[in-house]
Amino acid sequence: MRAAVDECVAKLAAPDILVANAGIFTVGLFADLSEEDWSETLATNLTGVFNTVKAVLPHLPDGAAIVLISSLLGLVGANETGHYSATKHGVMGLMKTLAIELGSRGIRVNTINPGTVPTPMVVRERVFKMYCPDLEAPTEEDFKVSSEQNNLLPTPWVEPRDISNAVLFLVSDEARFITGESLLVDAGFYTK
């Protein structure tokens, strides 16, 4: 990671925005989790963010903006997500610490906490079963109905562009005094 960042800086310029978005999502009861599933999730979701920030931070100028992608599950727990939720809570802790440590340099650090987003990580049979445990073979349509019931707004999910738009806001001048905060983009799931 450091070599890749150093090469980019040498060829282009030092960045003034860092967005760290790392995530894998497997499902399973904590008692049934293998050490391999735990380690792989931790390595990707939390250590991946650490490695990214660690590699880019020496190049960030004063006044830069950092956005770490956490999750709604970085604020709450949910059945069959202990390993994922633990890593996304870790991302929240890292964000808070970085905001404190980098504030004197004018570097803003925040998280985006998405709710359900229809990516291949989520739109798959095992997740359908998690959302619809009473159905033997839930479909994507069953998943959409169940997911929408979790939200205040009438939608089963937020789109990837909604997350991108939230990132654009947090790195913009309009958010120049926002740091140490988590921005939920979840169609009201957390509030409900």
Q: Which amino acid is at 134?
A: D
Return the pLDDT at 126. 87
CATH level 2 (architecture), domain 16-185: 3-Layer(aba) Sandwich (3.40)
Check pLDDT > 90 for residue 22.
Answer: no
* % of residues, the chain, pLDDT over 70: 100
Residue that is written with structure tokens 């960030």 in the block: 60
Q: Which amino acids are annotated catalytic?
A: 84
- Where do runs of H (alpha helix) occur along 43-139? 48-56, 82-102, 125-131
Q: Write the burial class of residue 191 (CB in 10 Å: 0-12 exposed, 13-18 middle, 19+ buried).
A: exposed
Task: Locate the domains of the chain by residue range.
Answer: 16-185
- In DSSP terms, 114 is beta-bridged to 185
Q: Considering the chain, what percentage of its residues have pLDDT values greater than 90?
A: 93
Residue 97: Cβ within 10 Å count: 12
Distance CA 5, CA 13 (A): 10
- Listed residue (118, 115, 117, 142) closest to 128, CA to CA: 142
pLDDT tens string 42-88: 999 999 999 999 999 999 999 999 999 999 999 999 999 999 999 99
